[in-house]
Amino acid sequence: MNSATELLSHYELIAGLTQNMLRAARDGDWDGLIELEKQYRARVDELKPVDAQVPLDDSQRARKHAVIRRILDDDARIRDLATPHLMHLDRLLRSSHQRRALQEAYGNSR
């Protein structure tokens, strides 16, 4: 990834991943979302060391900022969809933990 074209293509690839992640979150496909998140992180890790090394002209910089805004918008929407699901999982885990603690304290009466 040595050219501005390659750099911007990589940003577009990441934006495509966040769109797919948003679609998975809207569909409640949490396993799919987790898999896409892994791909997203790998692509971002590839980008980090070269991002500041590739010079961009004004139009390329504007394009990069527009793509980043799309990525951040998708990320905010994903968070809005995932937060209630995470809270539900948290309640289930706490309930399971409390049930286990009661069983340990009073024995299994079943």
Q: Which domain holds residue 47?
A: 3-108
CATH at 57: 1.20.58.380
For 56-87, give the DSSP string.
--HHHHHHHHHHHHHHHHHHHHHHHHHHHHHH
More confident residue, 50 or 18: 18
What pLDDT score was predicted for residue 74? 97
Q: Domain tally for the chain? A: 1
Using alpha carbons, list the distances in angstroms from residue 95 to 10, 30, 38, 90.
43, 21, 29, 9
Mean pLDDT for 21-29 is 96
Write down the mean pLDDT value for the chain: 91
Question: What pLDDT score was predicted for residue 95?
Answer: 85
